[in-house]
Amino acid sequence: MAEFKNGQFHFNFSGCCRWLESQGRKMFGPHFLIYPEDHDLILTLLVYAIADLENCQKRNLNLKKGILLTGPVGCGKTSLITLVGFFFPNAQQYTVKSTREIAFEFEKEGYTVINRFGKGTVSATGNSPPPGIYCFDDLGIEQPQKYFGNECNVMAEILLSRYDLFISNGVPTHVTTNLSASELEEKYGNRIRSRMREMFNLVAFNKNSRDKRT
């Protein structure tokens, strides 16, 4: 589907789309389809995944940054970001994790959850292992949670930690969200929004993209 030969990428986009659709049906059901109106967005994600520098530059993608994939409810963000993850080299593959699940984990386990997803879990020897790469799915739908009466905006704290990892170690983070830039700023504050500009490449579905769940 995509290979590097003689100093150039040889990229079969039609073959990639067929694979995505086939794999999508295995993972998400026989209803899964790749829609023609999403082809340009899919191409953007794929050239980023395989680190095609020339096409990334044409599309204003910074390979050091993560992906912020935005779009309306039901447009296919979660399924697409999951499938595209298979195109990344092993060292750059990520785990897709629902922000709602993270918030519930915080309610049960407390601040270790922020370390788990933000900094890496502290081992028995007291050393922090290298943190994994995550795609935080549906950023903004989670609610602030309390742990022993203390309320915390869990994802705001995790994003701050991920920003520190990005600056110090170059560890990327990916995100999907239904929210606009102004809505993200309202929920997480200007401090987070400013850091997100530095951390992410914005890739957006058309605001009129169809609801694939119907």
pLDDT at 142 exceeding the cut of 80: no
Q: Is the pLDDT of residue 128 over 50?
A: no
CATH fit for domain 62-204, picks 3.20.19.10, 3.30.750.80, 3.40.50.300, 3.30.70.141? 3.40.50.300
What pLDDT is attached to residue 129?
Answer: 43
d(CA 71, CA 183): 13
Of 95, 117, 96, 121, residue with least CA distance to 106: 117
Tell me, what's the pLDDT at 131? 58
Confidence grade of residue 107 (pLDDT, cut at 50, 70, 90): confident
The pTM score is 0.87
| Predicted pLDDT at 88 | 93
Pairing label, strands 150-152, 145-147: antiparallel
In this prediction, residue 110 carries a pLDDT of: 84
Decide: helix, strand or coil at residue 202. Answer: strand
For tokens 């704290």, name the residue.
Answer: 157
By CB atoms closer than 10 A (0-12, 13-18, 19+), residue 74 is middle
**pLDDT at position 165 over 80:** yes
Whether 209 shows a pLDDT value over 60: the answer reads yes
Please determine, for residue 126, whether its predicted confidence score (pLDDT) is greater than 50: no
Q: Strand order of the sheet with strand 134-139? A: 95-98, 134-139, 174-177, 66-70, 200-204
